[in-house]
Amino acid sequence: MKPERKRSLSIAGHRTSISLESPFWEALKEIAASEDRPIAALVAEVDSGRGELNLSSALRLHALAHYRRLAGSA
């Protein structure tokens, strides 16, 4: 697996850094594009509903759930 890449985004008015492996960043970009919204908006939505889960894990699980739904296995 490729090493993690750190990116800075503005979420709910504050800057935050998120570390994810490149394939997850690509997946999140694809998901955001398919929903016709910026990746920051997608990340903010995941952030608002993640509970106690750390944001990087919540984003990985969101991407997994998205592609599982597309595959018809969720």
**Sequence spans of domains, the chain:** 4-71
CA–CA separation, 10 vs 1, rounded Å? Answer: 27
Residues with Cβ < 8 Å from 8, sequence gap 6 or more?
15, 16, 17, 18
Angle (deg, nearest 10), helices 55-71 and 22-34: 60
Q: Which residues pair with 15 in a beta bridge?
A: 10
* pLDDT tens, N- to C-terminus, the chain (74 residues): 557 888 888 887 889 899 999 999 999 999 999 999 999 999 999 999 999 999 999 999 999 999 999 999 65
pLDDT on residue 14: 84
Say which CATH class 4-71 falls into.
mainly alpha
